[in-house]
Structure 1
Amino acid sequence: MDFLEKALDKVGRDEVTVKDELPKPELINTKLNTSEIVYTTTQKITLNNEMLRDRRVVAMQKHDPIADYFRMLRTKVLKQMRANKWNSFAITAPTRGVGKSMVATNLAISIAMEVNQTVLLVDFDLRIPRLKWYFDADVKYGILDYLNSDVPLNQILFNPGIERLVVLPGVGDTRDSSELISSPKMKQLVEDIKNRYSSRIIIFDMPPILAIDDVLAASEYYDAVLLVIEDGVSKASEITKSLQMLSNTNLLGTVLNKSQNPPDHQGYGYY
């Protein structure tokens, strides 16, 4: 634990505990602070709230105490994003099983519920994509189909029934993830989605940083990184190495997930 304290000190104690053109999700109502946004080109799915709860997707619940932690995490993240004029960040973890995709899903929902922002959540874990599972989305195509088979993005993007949130899911897997991430087509895709809407926050759900080099290969695509660690599981050596690998990257902070002793509404980001 002494080491963990030092590691968190290193990141400023910003611990947050828990040639196709991109088609516009055309907005019939374009004012973000109005009551409803209607998507005309992005497919919309119907959420199963009971299934979401079973999969720990709770950020849309107004009176859930766990959702409150994600709202506090949202406030912390957005404060830094706005102060630095950033519009994109990646979420990663030292190793698999820490809960980075769960954090990415809940945080994306929470940010989308803040009426000044729209959010695009991108599954950049090309080897083991998980976002469609968290939304219980029965989707046919994913980002690999856009890169490899020229499937139009309007057949891939979906709105999970939450205003201001669009998801670019992953379907299937590949062993050539770092090569695809560095490809000209991926670079054009990221440039398009980053520049299309000034109010949009883009969240990249990345693979674990110690597993493969994709987080570093994609570093030009995002402005900052949020690191998820698991209480009692993430080793001091893994945290150290992860921080070293992110030393040239803007670090938003850390999320301590699956805390054994979460504070009673005195902290944030714990699950």
Structure 2
Amino acid sequence: MAFGTSSQHGRYYDMLRTQVLQEMDKKSWQLLAVTSPTAGCGKTVTACNLALSISRLPERSVLLVDLDLRRPAVGNYLGINGNGGVLDVLEGRAPLSSAVQQVSIGPNNMLVLPGSVSSNSSEWMASQTMAAMLQTIKRDFRSRIVIFDLPPMLLGDDVISILPRTDAALLVAGVGSTTVSDIKECQRHLRRTAVLRVIVNKSTEAAGSYYGYY
């Protein structure tokens, strides 16, 4: 996790943060989806670091939601213990307010709704219960940017089901793991979604060229 400005990687995420917020502010957008073509591209690392970077801005706040019900990882990356989170809310075992946790990393705080594994991931994503939860998030956290860490796009219909309920998306591609055909297939599914950036992760280029993403 690059939660400070002293590291080179932290500066990359700060640049991404500024670009993303500028685009979202223009349209008064709030809900940002982060996905990738396949597994292993670094979408969760990107979502976590972008959220941490936003949390450092004095007049901004962020909610990070783990909606990868196939393989949730946000809690592990941020050191959040315990089960529940999203599924507790969807299944009616807990209200959204109690499932959301405050996470402190360094001097900064942000809110996180951890994920949990479900064998019915696809069905949950397309459900009215999920739609209702997203509406509640949008209403109750309207002053915050909300980042959703979604499953890889090409592993099922989860992402396709939920994208229309978000405002914009980031697509994270991994050097060595994402093919041109993967990108083209994702573009077909993203035709009706505002894609703010395609991020090239795991690049070995020198930092002076394109800062590791474009």
TM-score by length of 2: 0.92
Q: Out of 176, 180, 189, which is 2:133 matched to?
A: 189
Q: 1:170 matched to which residue of 2?
A: 115
CA-atom RMSD in angstroms:
1.6
CA contact (8 A) 2:30 2:167 kept: yes
Q: Out of 45, 58, 61, which is 1:115 matched to?
A: 58
- Structure 2 vs 1, CA of residues 262 and 124 (structure 1 numbering), >3 Å: closer, same or farther? farther
Residues in 1 aligned to 2:138 and 2:180: alpha-carbon distance in whole angstroms: 35
SS in 1 for 2:104: coil
Residue 269 of structure 1, CA deviation: 4.7
CA contact (8 A) 1:70 1:268 kept: no
Which blocks of at least 5 consecutive residues in structure 1 are unaligned? 1-56
Residue 146 of structure 1, CA deviation: 1.7
SS in 1 for 2:119: coil
CA radius of gyration, larger in: 1
Residue 149 of structure 1, CA deviation: 4.5
Could you list the per-position Cα deviations for residues 161-181 of structure 1 after superposition, in whole angstroms to 9, with x for gaps in the alignment?
15451000012x222112212
Letter of the 2:187 counterpart: L
CA contact (8 A) 1:129 1:170 kept: yes
Question: Structure 1 or 2: larger strand share?
Answer: 2
Q: Tell me, yes or no, if structure 1 residue 240 matches structure 2 residue 184.
A: yes
Could you list the per-position Cα deviations for residues 113-137 of structure 1 after superposition, in whole angstroms to 9, with x for gaps in the alignment?
1122211110010111010011021
Could you list the per-position Cα deviations for residues 215-236 of structure 1 after superposition, in whole angstroms to 9, with x for gaps in the alignment?
1100232101100001132111
Which blocks of at least 5 consecutive residues in structure 2 are unaligned? none
Residue 99 of structure 1, CA deviation: 0.6
Q: 2:96 matched to which residue of 1?
A: 153
Residues in 2 aligned to 1:231 and 1:101: alpha-carbon distance in whole angstroms: 16
Find runs of 4+ consecutive structure 1 residues off by over 6 angstroms.
Answer: none
SS in 1 for 2:62: strand
Letter of the 1:183 counterpart: S
Letter of the 1:79 counterpart: Q
Q: Out of 187, 190, 199, which is 2:143 matched to?
A: 199
Residues in 2 aligned to 1:120 and 1:68: alpha-carbon distance in whole angstroms: 21
Paired residues in the alignment total: 211
CA contact (8 A) 1:123 1:170 kept: yes
Q: 1:51 matched to which residue of 2?
A: none
Letter of the 1:151 counterpart: A
Q: 2:157 matched to which residue of 1?
A: 213
Q: Tell me, yes or no, if structure 1 residue 259 matches structure 2 residue 200.
A: no
CA contact (8 A) 1:72 1:269 kept: no
Residue 198 of structure 1, CA deviation: 3.6
Residues in 1 aligned to 2:153 and 2:119: alpha-carbon distance in whole angstroms: 16
CA contact (8 A) 1:70 1:269 kept: no
CA contact (8 A) 2:31 2:146 kept: yes
Residues in 2 aligned to 1:166 and 1:240: alpha-carbon distance in whole angstroms: 34
Residues in 2 aligned to 1:100 and 1:170: alpha-carbon distance in whole angstroms: 15
CA contact (8 A) 2:203 2:212 kept: no
Q: 1:76 matched to which residue of 2?
A: 19
Q: 1:53 matched to which residue of 2?
A: none
Residues in 1 aligned to 2:97 and 2:141: alpha-carbon distance in whole angstroms: 16
Q: Out of 59, 77, 80, which is 1:137 matched to?
A: 80
Residues in 2 aligned to 1:247 and 1:200: alpha-carbon distance in whole angstroms: 26
